[in-house]
């Protein structure tokens, strides 16, 4: 079958405790329904061998960080054979400089981007990215880039870090990041808890999003302008080896066979609330 874009969940493992992530309970304690696993390499190869015309493979986890997968090097080696470009998104605080040196070499002669999630500077970054260390991420990113790797600085603005946006952009340019990317995250209305104590912590939306409301979003419609799966043929592969049309359909519509998946345009002709909540604007 023809797909241009494939999102891959390499693993459900992660060292971070971001309160807005579905793998944990508001930042404190794992989701009791989460199954800890890495994507099987044979299954990955099987899925890719059934896809034609693939342009981008994006290792963007819904429940895990790709770099946490024990077999991430093998998964990357397989992916390189099937697509034009690789994207790997990570909090960047795992592994050491030796590993990041080798990882850059693994990606040589392959169009790629590694997105490092850096939500502020040393004093603010880990307020949301609980369990990660700013200095470690910067060190790993610098090592990766100095060995030929292409890196992108990903930034989610919050009330506690929006005053540092300009400084972060300047630092990203100084260090040699390819570019600076904002993720204006919609997961900004939840009770946040400290990952070791369970105490409620204050994480508020940034000022530009203070007028955001579910009611306003419920009036919008998904179109090819704001839904990747309507704009181009795409697919999501879970860490359990099952496929679905979209990561948000992960638990609703997933299958071992690509052929069993519904037509995404038909699914979204009468949008579900989950689509409106996460994707429309």
* pTM of the predicted model as reported, rounded to 2 decimal places: 0.90
Task: Tell me how far the alpha carbon of residue 154 is from its chain's centroid.
Answer: 10
Determine the Cα–Cα distance for residues 203 and 170; give it in Å rounded to an integer.
25
pLDDT, tens digit, 9 for 90 and up, residues 248-270: 666 556 777 777 776 666 655 65
Nearest residue to 244 (alpha-carbon basis) of 232, 256, 252, 236? 236
Percentage of the chain beyond pLDDT 70 is 81
Comparison of pLDDT for 220 and 118, the residue scoring more: 118
Output the average pLDDT for the chain: 87
Is residue 116 pLDDT above 90, yes or no? yes
Task: Tell me how far the alpha carbon of residue 122 is from its chain's centroid.
Answer: 21
Is residue 174 pLDDT above 90, yes or no? yes
pLDDT, tens digit, 9 for 90 and up, residues 57-78: 999 988 999 999 999 999 999 9
Is residue 176 pLDDT above 60, yes or no? yes
Task: Name the DSSP class of 153.
Answer: E
Neighbouring-strand partners of residue 158: 205
Per-residue pLDDT at 48? 96
5-212: what fold?
A: TIM Barrel (3.20.20)
Is residue 276 pLDDT above 70, yes or no? no
pLDDT band per the 50, 70, 90 thresholds, residue 190: confident
**Residue 131 backbone zone (phi > 0: left; psi -120 to 50: alpha; other: beta):** left
CB 243 within 8 A of CB 258: yes
Tokens of 229: 């799966």
Computed from CA positions of residues 180, 11, 143, 77, in that sequence, does the dihedral angle turn out positive or negative? negative
As a whole number, mean pLDDT of residues 199-220 equals 64
Neighbouring-strand partners of residue 85: 56
The least confident of 82-91, 129-138, 239-248 is 239-248
Per-residue pLDDT at 192? 94
Reduced to 3 states (helix: H, G, I; strand: E, B; else coil), residue 61 is: coil
Burial class (CB in 10 A: 0-12, 13-18, 19+), 22: middle
pLDDT, tens digit, 9 for 90 and up, residues 18-31: 999 989 999 999 99
Angle at 141 between CA 138 and CA 145, to 5 degrees: 140
Q: Where are the domains of the chain?
A: 5-212
Angstrom distances, CA of residue 2 to CA of 7, 18, 235, 250 = 14, 35, 10, 20
Nearest residue to 134 (alpha-carbon basis) of 118, 150, 116? 118
């Amino acid at each position: 079958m023809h797909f241009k874009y494939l999102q891959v969940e390499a693993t459900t493992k992660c060292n971070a405790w971001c309160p807005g992530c579905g793998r944990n309970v508001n930042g404190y304690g794992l989701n009791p329904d989460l199954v800890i696993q890495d994507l099987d390499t044979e299954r990955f190869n099987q899925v890719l061998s059934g896809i034609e015309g693939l342009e981008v493979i994006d290792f963007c986890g819904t429940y895990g960080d790709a770099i946490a997968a024990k077999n991430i090097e093998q998964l990357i080696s397989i992916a390189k054979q099937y697509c034009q470009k690789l994207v790997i998104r990570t909090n960047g605080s795992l592994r050491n400089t030796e590993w990041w040196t080798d990882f850059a070499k693994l990606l040589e002669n392959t169009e790629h981007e590694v997105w490092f999630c850096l939500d502020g500077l040393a004093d603010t970054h880990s307020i949301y990215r609980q369990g990660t260390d700013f200095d470690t991420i910067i060190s790993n990113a610098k090592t990766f880039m100095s060995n030929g790797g292409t890196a992108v600085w990903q930034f989610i603005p919050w009330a506690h870090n929006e005053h540092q946006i300009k400084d972060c952009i300047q630092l990203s340019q100084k260090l040699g990041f390819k570019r600076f990317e904002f993720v204006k995250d919609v997961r900004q209305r939840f009770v946040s808890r400290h990952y070791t104590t369970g105490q409620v912590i204050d994480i508020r939306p940034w000022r530009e999003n203070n007028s955001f409301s579910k009611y306003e979003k419920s009036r919008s419609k998904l179109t090819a302008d704001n839904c990747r799966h309507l704009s181009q043929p795409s697919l999501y592969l879970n860490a359990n080896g099952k496929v679905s049309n979209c990561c948000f359909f992960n638990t609703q519509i997933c299958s071992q066979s690509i052929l069993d998946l519904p037509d995404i345009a038909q699914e979204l002709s009468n949008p579900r609330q989950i689509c409106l909540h996460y994707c429309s604007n």
